[in-house]
Amino acid sequence: MRGIAGLAAELVLEAVPRPEADALVFVPPDGSRRLQRGHHPAEGLADRLGRRWELPVLPLVERASAGRRQRGLTLAERRKNVAGVFGARGRAPPRIVLVDDIYTSGATASAVGSALRSAGARRVEVVTLARAVR
């Protein structure tokens, strides 16, 4: 799956114009999944988009805990599952684009966006490769 980050970025670049932003930030993985996979799809996508859009990719968000897997959870359970899981490392620039590989319910994007806004971001936009439809 590592080899598709470039293709994924090309697909996003065809559909999404360069955002008016100061930086890109990716949704951080939990440590065990990163070790299992050997890579992190959202980070790879963010790196490639950052190069093409000439925007820095900042590791501003960290996971305080792994939490349960989101698969199979209801929207309310998903929101509860990620509440308080993400925190910012340092001050965030005013305009951020949050990059993730798949957008399902929005619970993760919302939780990460809240952490970024608490760190100073005034606007957080989300870019993903895919949107899961339920």
Query: pTM of this prediction?
Result: 0.83
Q: Is the pLDDT of residue 45 over 70?
A: yes
Residue 108 pLDDT level (bands cut at 50, 70, 90): confident
> Residue 129, CB half-sphere, CA atoms under 13 Å: how many?
21
Collapsed DSSP state (helix, strand, coil) of residue 38: coil
Q: Is the pLDDT of residue 107 over 90?
A: no
Q: Is the pLDDT of residue 34 over 50?
A: no
What is the spatial order of strands in the sheet that 123-131 belongs to? 23-26, 95-103, 123-131
Query: Span 76-101, mean pLDDT?
Result: 86
Q: Residue 54: its pLDDT value, please?
A: 97
Q: Is the pLDDT of residue 31 over 60?
A: no
CATH of 2-131, one of 2.40.30.200, 3.40.50.620, 3.40.920.10, 3.40.50.2020: 3.40.50.2020
Amino acid identity, residue 32?
S
User: Domains of the chain: which residue ranges?
Assistant: 2-131
Q: Is the pLDDT of residue 70 over 70?
A: no
